[in-house]
């Protein structure tokens, strides 16, 4: 997809949070510990593609998703939307631009206003971005979107608590797509759903992407979800990228030890293969983002780590379109 126009790009993106309360004087407040949730991400999202971002819990996936859309402010780095500096947008400009990039959240029930009917939830973005629409036109747009996501018009006056988790997520999808955005960021949209419902929602998103020409970022910790829907995949660990490339390169020719360990833990349907395959267990626990390891953040759990890995961040290696951040790999 690299030949397609770049829709959103990030360079050196960082999101650090200062922790807790302090009794120190103001001039010493900068010495409070920082959680380095995202610690230097370079990323290009191309028009029409689906980029999957995977990693274990606590690696910074959701924080990165929110920072890309400026739902939280980056600590450092640059963000460009179709060549424009997103960090230079003032509040009114950012509000106006939000119709082009929307988000689908992890908890479908918590992302909807319980005081509004589902038709009102879906119509809410239209009130903000297209206030000139008549009530009849607004309702027609809502009914069309409900039909696209598999909801019945007869359900329009029900409230979110009357729906299952899968139905609530369909409402969230309809709400995100009602403005015909260019980019959708999905923050683990199926992790709270049953397995059978997960497949339905993923297939729905895939169909809608083709129908509406969407660009998507799919955040997940389930590699099978990412493989099913993504064109490219980025693997994250403790706020930093480990490997990024076309999904076939990452899944069929994973080079980074962390990616290999994640793939070895994916369940397989064949019982004989499941009993004989080698599962790579990583030693130790995930380090604290308050005090990440120096150099390569993965070195404390990496079977290939050397003393040099503690000295500097790993360089970018690999062939065109498939990059690995590791100083020990000869690629």
pLDDT in tens, 233-285: 999 999 999 999 999 999 888 899 999 888 887 777 667 766 777 777 788 78
The whole-number pLDDT of residue 123 equals: 95
Range of the domain at 205: 6-17+35-325
pLDDT at 21 over 60: no
pLDDT at 100 over 70: yes
25 part of a folded domain: no
The predicted-structure confidence for 33-62, as pLDDT tens digits, reads as follows 788 999 999 999 999 999 999 988 888 999
User: Domain count of the chain?
Assistant: 1
111 part of a folded domain: yes
The whole-number pLDDT of residue 233 equals: 95
The whole-number pLDDT of residue 19 equals: 76
30 part of a folded domain: no
Q: CATH number of the domain that 265 lies in?
A: 3.40.50.300
Ramachandran class of 48: left when φ > 0, alpha when ψ lies in -120 to 50, beta otherwise: left
330 part of a folded domain: no
pLDDT at 2 over 80: no
The whole-number pLDDT of residue 3 equals: 67
26 part of a folded domain: no
Q: Are strands 34-46 and 322-325 parallel, antiparallel or unpaired?
A: unpaired
Q: Can you tell me the mean pLDDT for 10-31?
A: 72
1 part of a folded domain: no
331 part of a folded domain: no
27 part of a folded domain: no
The predicted-structure confidence for 290-299, as pLDDT tens digits, reads as follows 888 999 999 9
The predicted-structure confidence for 212-227, as pLDDT tens digits, reads as follows 999 999 998 878 888 8
């Amino acid at each position: 997809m690299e030949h397609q126009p770049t829709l959103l790009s990030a360079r050196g993106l960082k999101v650090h949070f200062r922790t807790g309360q302090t009794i120190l004087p103001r001039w010493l407040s900068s010495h409070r510990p920082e959680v380095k949730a995202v610690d230097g991400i370079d990323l290009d999202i191309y028009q029409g593609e689906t980029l999957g971002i995977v990693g274990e819990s606590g690696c910074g996936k959701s924080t990165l998703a929110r920072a890309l859309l400026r739902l939280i402010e980056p600590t450092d780095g640059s963000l460009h939307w179709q060549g424009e500096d997103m960090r230079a947008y003032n509040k009114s400009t950012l509000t106006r631009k939000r119709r082009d990039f929307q988000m689908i959240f992890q908890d479908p029930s918590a992302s909807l206003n319980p005081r509004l009917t589902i038709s009102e939830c879906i119509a809410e973005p239209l009130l903000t971005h297209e206030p000139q629409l008549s009530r009849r036109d607004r309702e027609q747009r809502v009914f069309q979107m409900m039909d696209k996501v598999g909801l019945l018009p007869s359900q329009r006056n029900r409230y979110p608590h009357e729906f299952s988790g899968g139905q609530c997520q369909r409402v969230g999808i309809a709400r995100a797509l009602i403005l015909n955005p260019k980019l959708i960021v999905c923050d683990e949209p199926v992790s709270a759903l049953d397995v059978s419902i997960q497949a339905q929602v993923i297939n729905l998103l895939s169909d809608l992407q083709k129908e509406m020409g969407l660009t998507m970022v799919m955040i997940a910790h389930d590699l099978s979800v990412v493989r099913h829907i993504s064109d490219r995949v980025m693997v994250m660990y403790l706020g930093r990228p480990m490997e990024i490339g076309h999904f076939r390169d990452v899944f069929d020719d994973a080079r980074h030890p962390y990616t290999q360990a994640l793939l070895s833990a994916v369940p397989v349907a064949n019982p004989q293969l499941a009993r004989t395959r080698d599962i790579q267990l990583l030693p130790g626990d995930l380090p604290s983002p308050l005090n990440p390891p120096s150099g390569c953040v993965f070195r404390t759990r990496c079977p290939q780590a050397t003393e040099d890995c503690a000295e500097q961040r790993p360089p970018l290696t690999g062939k065109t379109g498939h990059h690995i951040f590791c100083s020990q790999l000869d690629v």
